[in-house]
Structure 1
């Protein structure tokens, strides 16, 4: 990818409130990829080629790094609060101790990225690829799963529910979510398996109301196995209509 010449970079920045120092820092970054501690607030770096760039402790608040190539970049301690890294390639990047409050990392590629000590919990991570296992809570992935399920994207919903379970293998709502998604996809056996897993967890937790709801789901799924498979689609619709609403309250 070609790097913008200095003149072009300066022209691009005329619409961005910036000090002379920040423009000089931007030019330094684009020409040398060495800009530790630089002032790059609100910098426009869309599609920039910054492979192995040194941006340690750089101030990148509000910067636009959408689809930038940051493979192997040193972003240790960098402030990326409010920055946009939508679709950016951060494979192998060092984000140790980076500030990522409200950072847009949707569709970013994070395989083998170091994130220890970074406050990534407040970042936007939906559809990010290669998320380290310590990033994102079960609740967060479950929420995304619910959004996909409500939109009818059941396979994507299952993927998020599975990620939630990978974070917390006793997170019963995601087992329930997979059960209902599998039911929608016509996989009765898998639906029943996950419903039973949810029921077991609720029993262990001593949650009477949730346990009763999961029991109803298991019982109904077992009944459906004995009914005419030709009317399975109608069975699903009747089931969701009769007890689906009750079950949904345990998915949030």
Structure 2
């Protein structure tokens, strides 16, 4: 009987502590939403979908595994915050301060990152697919290229071109990025731009003694000069299958 009473007491004590913990979490969420001031708060696993947190003070906050999808965090101070595993899909992080923040494994797909500060941030395993305004210093040319290829495969050619532009800006002698951008431009009916990119790629491949790349670029230019290339044909090939061996040539520039 004493054991049953003890077990019951432990059970209700556990429930009571859990309730207090939940209330504390709720209180900090309420504080954040009402004042936008929650420095060093424990907001792990918090649901903050579409919350307006523009300019919020979240310095040092614990936001591990929090769901902030489509929230407005523009101009927010997240320096030193722990955002590991956080869901940040579609979040506006323009001009936000993420200096020293931990973003390991965070989902930053389709985020807005114009003038976002990432100095000293931990970015291992971050998914930047579809993000706009990724700072040049936090991704390699090969990573920008890979992002572009992924977008092009999904038919998002405008976004793909933006990533290829960044890859080229970071590494001007990058024939694969020119060739890939040319294909994306072709599929957006920009035959002139596609041909110019193919020409640049062909010259670079030649200078680098990359025979397959040179021949592929030349084949692409021939395709662009045919009468029917003024329009992308119905049932057009995929990004990778466009011209013969083009797929394998583009794949060799991926960072894996």
* Pairwise TM-score range, normalised by the shorter structure: 0.7 to 0.9
* Contact 2:108 2:128 (C-alpha < 8 Å) held by counterparts: yes
How far apart are the structure 2 equivalents of 1:28 and 1:165? 45
Listed as ranges, the gaps of 5+ residues in structure 2 are: 1-17
Provide the aligned C-alpha RMSD in A: 3.1
How far apart are the structure 2 equivalents of 1:59 and 1:231? 54
How far apart are the structure 2 equivalents of 1:226 and 1:68? 47
How far apart are the structure 2 equivalents of 1:45 and 1:16? 20
TM-score (norm 2): 0.75
Quick one: structure 1 residues 213 and 186, their matched pair in 2 at CA, closer, same or farther if it must change by over 3 Å? farther
* Contact 1:192 1:218 (C-alpha < 8 Å) held by counterparts: no
Shift of 1:93: 1.6
How far apart are the structure 2 equivalents of 1:101 and 1:29? 23
1:88 alignment counterpart: 91
1:23-62 pair list within 5 angstroms = 23-62=26-65
Question: 125, 148, 168: which is aligned to 1:145?
Answer: 148
How far apart are the structure 1 equivalents of 2:122 and 2:157? 31
Kindly provide the CA deviation profile for residues 46-99 of structure 1, in whole angstroms up to 9, marking residues without a partner as x: 122223221111111011112222232211100001111222222222111111
How far apart are the structure 2 equivalents of 1:45 and 1:231? 49
1:250 alignment counterpart: 252
1:160 alignment counterpart: 163
Q: Secondary structure at the match of 2:40?
A: coil
* Contact 2:47 2:67 (C-alpha < 8 Å) held by counterparts: yes
* Contact 2:86 2:105 (C-alpha < 8 Å) held by counterparts: yes
Aligned length: 231
